[in-house]
Structures are given as structure tokens and as C-alpha cells.
């Protein structure tokens, strides 16, 4: 079934369009609104966005595929991003990643640059490494959906996941 953009999402996009002298500028806001609803940007909505902003589909695709925050496949219900960058790595973020993946039942053996996101079998969690989340003084840090968690030790992994059920 093709995806339908709900009215309130379209209204949000219409409202954001008024903020720019040029419709194309509303592309990131439009993709955020769609991802905010579907948790990713379904392929069949690329044309919809293009029509809305009077763009070619390729102009939407090139943006969708460039930015790491936009997803083209559904993540888990709770998407985890663990900071990989220096200060967090020094504070143990690789151990945190391993512990979170294990406790969430996620196999990361096939993760690579082009497929950074891995999803648990039950679809509840997904995980990926992110670059510096601008909280380097309280590493290791991770985000679960919109929430930032600081100084998360590997032994806290279970407790953290239990907060999202």
C-alpha cells in the first residue's frame, strides 16, 4: 500500500513553507516532518515531497541520501545512537555500544558505512554509531530517539533499555 501523508503532517509542511522565500529551502523541514511521522522517509513519498516543493524527485533523493539523520528504512521503535567520536571513545563508548547491542538483541556484524543501522529481531530497538553529539564532557553519551543519556556505563545498558518498552 502506498504511504499516505497525514493531514497534520502536510499542514506542518505548509506552515514551514511560509518561512522561506524559496520553496526548496523547506526540503529539510519537510523530510523531518515525514520522518517524524513514519520514523523514516518511505520511498514512495519522494515524489510527493518533490511535487509539494516544486522540485524534481532527484533533488529530494540527493538530499535524502546525503544526510545521516534521514533514514530510508524503518528503524526500531526506539532508535539508539551511540557517540563514536574521540572523547566518548576514550570514556568507553565502544564497550557501551557492545553492551547495548547485546542486551537489545541486535546483531551488528553486518554494519558498515552504507548500512550503519541494525535492528533487533523484535523491531523494538535499532542502533548505530553517531559522530560527536556535543556532550563530550559527560561521555560516553547516547541518544534514544530524542533523549540524550550521559555517562552511560556498559553495565547500565540493561537499565537504560528497560526505560523504553
Partner 1 sequence: MSITYKAGKNPHPLEHRMIFRNIDREGWDPGIETYLGEGGYESLRKAMAMAPGEIQAQVKTAGVRGRGGAGFPAGVKWGFIPPNNTKPVYLICNADESEPGTFKDRYIMHQDPHQLIEGMVITAFAIGCHTAYIYIREEFPFAAKILEGAIEEARAKNFVGRNILGTGFDLEIHVHRGAGAYICGEETGLIESLEGKRPYPRIKPPYFPAAMGLYLCPTIVNNVETLCHVTHILKMGGEEYAKLGTPNNTGTRILCVSGDVQKPGYFEVQVGKVTMGQLINEMCGGLRTGRTLKAVIPGGSSAKVLRADETFKLKDREISIWDIPMDFDSLAACGSMAGSGGVIVIDDSRSIAWVLNNINAFYAHESCGQCTPCREGSLWMKKISDRIVAGKGSPDDVDTLESVAYRIDGRTICAFGEAASWPTESFIAKFRDELKAATSDSLKGAIVNPETKLAAASLKV
Interaction partner, residue 17 (ligand FES, partner 1, none; CB < 5-8 Å by kind): none
Of positions 9, 37, 116, 164, contacts partner 1 by CB under 8 A: 116
Which residue has 541518544 as its cell numbers?
143
Task: Please identify, using beta-carbon distances, which residue of 14 and 131 lies nearer to partner 1.
Answer: 131
Residues 104 and 123: their CA atoms lie apart, in Å, by 10
- Cβ 47 to partner 1, closest distance in Å? 16
Give the integer Cα–Cα distance in Å for 150 and 82.
10
Of 68, 50, 52, the closest CA to residue 60 belongs to 50
Binding positions for ligand FES, 19-78, rule CB under 6 A: none
- Burial annotation 55-76 (CB, 10 A radius, 16+ → b, else e): beeebbbebbeeeeebbeeebb
Partner from ligand FES, partner 1, none binding residue 67, C-beta < 5-8 Å depending on class: partner 1
- Within 75-94, the residues that bind partner 1 by CB under 8 A are 81, 84-87, 89-90, 94
Amino acid at each position: 500500500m502506498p504511504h499516505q501523508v497525514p493531514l497534520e503532517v502536510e499542514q506542518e509542511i505548509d506552515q514551514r513553507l511560509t518561512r522561506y522565500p524559496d520553496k526548496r529551502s523547506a526540503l529539510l523541514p519537510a523530510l523531518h516532518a515525514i520522518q517524524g511521522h513514519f520514523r523514516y522517509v518511505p520511498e514512495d513519498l519522494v515524489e510527493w515531497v518533490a511535487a509539494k516543493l516544486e522540485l524534481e524527485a532527484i533533488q529530494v533523493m540527493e538530499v535524502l541520501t546525503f544526510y545521516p539523520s534521514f533514514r530510508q528504512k524503518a528503524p526500531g521503535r526506539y532508535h539508539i545512537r551511540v557517540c563514536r567520536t574521540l572523547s566518548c571513545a576514550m570514556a568507553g563508548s565502544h564497550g557501551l555500544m557492545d553492551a547495548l547491542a547485546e542486551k537489545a538483541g541486535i546483531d551488528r556484524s553486518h554494519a558498515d558505512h552504507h548500512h550503519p543501522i541494525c535492528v533487533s529481531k523484535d523491531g523494538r530497538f535499532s542502533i548505530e554509531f553517531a559522530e560527536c553529539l556535543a556532550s563530550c564532557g559527560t561521555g560516553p553519551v547516547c541518544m534514544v530517539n530524542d533523549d540524550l543519556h550521559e555517562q552511560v556505563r556498559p553495565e547500565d545498558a540493561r537499565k537504560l533499555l528497560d526505560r523504553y518498552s
